């Protein structure tokens, strides 16, 4: 029991070592890439910022070398030096552009991970080394040696018994042979019964095989229905998001019609009908008549404004309905109809449309939206797929800030280019954040942390991004620190 407990303890330490070492190796692998990203961003800075940028680059290279050396030979002094250098780098980065600061944050996160995990890995190695498995094995070996000697003595005694038993066994074999000859008829009868049982068994096997084939066919049918159900669920989820915008536009048009100034025209017509015989005198001499031209002018202006509002909302309503049609058409294309929904679009317009579809909900939750849109060209994009992703990401960001104080609720939308080959849209919230263990599971089908969630939205968004040749990723520094979802799409793709 002691050996088993020691072995279990050592196995648990090894598993923990493997986990922490995996995180450490991941940061070591990505640290040079993060440094290269910083260097690439610094290369694009203006001349006025070159001095601070060069100083920052030197610090990054020192940290890169120090991090690699720390992974080979960790010490508290070297860790303290790296931590000091990191603090200085963070202070110096405040004067740099935001894109460089973001890459410096990523680089710093990897360095901190190396500092933290290397120390943990070294401690685990020390603990694994001191687990006393060898002592327990020696104790068991000594015990086994004594048992072996005792077994040898018993073996000699058993050999003597074996000689006696052998003689008895020979006698029994002779008796059995005689009985075997006499039982030949019984054996033949048993063989016939076995042959009959074998035939019955073959028939039952054939029946079971037929039943298994039928069950397989039913399972295939069930699998197809499950696939159809998942597609239908995704369609309903996406259409449901768009219908929220349709309801908002319809409610606004309905409210405008209910409160329309056009109702005052009936009062005007009633007055004019009452004074039809002396309309001229009524309009020029009567106090109420003198007010009619100004009142009619105000009604005309109000009606014109109401008309513009309803035209705008009807246009939004038509766009939302077109979006629903695009979502349905996209699902039909998966069914083999070959519909090509790629068109020339401006991504910033699609982001504005997605914001409008979530506008009423954002206003109701008192959420501030910050837009950071860079100049990007018109591109070949799938409207339905991109809007599906953007609407879901904005809605999820809003949901993530339900428990945040109203003054701190902010969503930042960034649109820009990654080099010359990719388009990038980032949706950042200041919400509840994502635990590290959930970052790899958040796009799985059915995974959700919300009591009212269903786990379809992010899964369908990740699939849509993959179908367009792009990626959808999530980043969070931990619970309570917000999250950033990044959609990256290639500029030139073949979609259909």
pLDDT tens per residue, the chain (496 residues)? 666 787 888 788 888 888 888 887 888 888 888 888 888 887 776 666 667 777 788 888 888 888 888 878 878 888 888 888 888 888 877 777 888 888 888 888 888 888 888 888 888 888 887 777 666 666 666 776 777 778 878 888 888 888 898 888 888 888 878 887 877 777 777 778 878 887 888 888 888 888 877 776 675 455 445 444 544 555 555 566 666 666 676 777 677 666 666 666 667 777 777 777 777 777 777 777 777 777 777 777 877 787 787 787 777 777 777 667 665 655 555 444 444 467 888 999 999 988 887 877 788 888 889 999 999 989 888 888 888 899 889 988 888 888 877 667 899 999 999 888 889 999 999 888 888 888 878 888 767 766 555 666 788 888 888 988 899 999 999 888 889 999 999 986 434 3
133, 142, 145 from 138: Cα distances, Å: 9, 6, 10
> CA-based angle 474:478:481, to the nearest 5?
90
Beta bridge partner(s), residue 113: none
| Cβ count near 13 (within 10 Å) | 18
How many angstroms separate the CA atoms of 148 and 142, rounded?
10
Beta bridge partner(s), residue 342: 382
pLDDT of residue 334: 45
Query: Long-range contacts made by residues 449-456, C-beta under 8 angstroms, separation at least 24?
Result: 450/399, 454/233, 454/237, 456/233, 456/234, 456/237
Distance of CA 309 to the CA centre of its chain: 38
pLDDT of residue 496: 39
pLDDT of residue 455: 62
How many angstroms separate the CA atoms of 40 and 46, rounded?
13
389 contacts 353 by C-beta, under 8 angstroms: no
470 contacts 489 by C-beta, under 8 angstroms: yes
pLDDT of residue 226: 45
365 contacts 402 by C-beta, under 8 angstroms: yes
Phi and psi at 147, nearest 5°, equal: -65, -35
46 DSSP 8-state letter? -
pLDDT of residue 227: 44
432 DSSP 8-state letter? S
pLDDT of residue 220: 47
């Amino acid at each position: 029991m002691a050996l088993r407990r020691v072995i279990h303890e050592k196995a648990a330490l090894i598993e923990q070592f493997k986990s922490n070492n995996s995180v450490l190796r991941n940061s070591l692998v990505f640290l040079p890439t993060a440094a290269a990203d910083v260097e690439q961003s610094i290369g694009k800075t203006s001349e006025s910022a070159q001095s601070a940028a060069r100083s920052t680059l030197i610090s990054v290279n020192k940290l890169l070398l120090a991090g690699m050396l720390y992974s080979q030979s960790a010490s508290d002094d070297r860790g303290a030096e790296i931590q000091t250098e990191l603090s200085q780098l963070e202070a110096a980065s405040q004067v740099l552009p935001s894109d460089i600061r973001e890459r410096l944050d990523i680089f710093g996160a990897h360095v901190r991970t190396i500092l933290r995990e290397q120390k943990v890995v070294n401690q685990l190695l020390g603990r694994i080394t001191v687990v006393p498995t060898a002592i327990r094995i020696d104790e068991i070996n000594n015990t086994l040696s004594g048992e072996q000697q005792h077994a040898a003595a018993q073996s000699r005694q058993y050999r003597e018994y074996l000689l006696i038993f052998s003689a008895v066994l020979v006698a029994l074999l002779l008796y059995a042979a005689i009985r075997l000859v006499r039982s030949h008829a019984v054996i033949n009868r048993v063989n016939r019964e076995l042959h009959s049982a074998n035939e019955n068994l073959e028939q039952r096997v054939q029946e079971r095989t037929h039943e298994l084939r039928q069950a397989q066919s039913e399972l295939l049918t069930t699998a197809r229905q499950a696939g159809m159900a998942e597609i239908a669920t995704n369609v309903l989820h996406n259409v449901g998001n768009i219908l929220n915008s349709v309801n908002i536009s319809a409610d606004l048009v309905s409210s405008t019609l209910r409160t329309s100034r056009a109702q005052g025209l009936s009062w005007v017509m009633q007055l004019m009908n009452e004074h039809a015989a002396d309309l001229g005198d009524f309009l020029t001499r009567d106090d109420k008549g003198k007010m009619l031209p100004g009142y009619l002018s105000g009604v005309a202006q109000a009606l014109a404004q109401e008309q513009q509002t309803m035209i705008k909302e009807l246009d939004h309503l038509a766009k939302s309905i077109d979006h629903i049609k695009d979502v349905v058409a996209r699902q039909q294309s998966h069914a083999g109809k070959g519909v090509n929904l790629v068109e020339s679009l401006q991504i910033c317009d699609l982001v504005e449309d997605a914001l409008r579809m979530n506008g009423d909900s954002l206003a109701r939750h008192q959420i501030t939206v910050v837009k950071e849109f860079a100049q990007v060209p018109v591109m070949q994009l799938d409207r339905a797929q991109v809007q599906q992703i953007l609407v879901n990401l904005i809605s999820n960001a809003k949901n993530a800030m339900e428990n945040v104080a109203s003054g701190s609720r902010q969503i930042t939308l960034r649109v820009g280019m990654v080099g010359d080959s990719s388009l990038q849209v980032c949706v950042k919230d200041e919400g509840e954040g994502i635990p590290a263990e959930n970052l790899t599971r958040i796009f799985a089908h059915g995974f959700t942390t919300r009591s009212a969630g269903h786990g379809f939205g992010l899964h369908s968004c990740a699939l849509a991004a993959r179908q367009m040749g792009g990626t959808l990723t999530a980043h969070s520094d931990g619970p309570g620190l917000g999250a950033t979802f990044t959609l990256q799409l290639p500029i030139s793709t073949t979609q259909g």
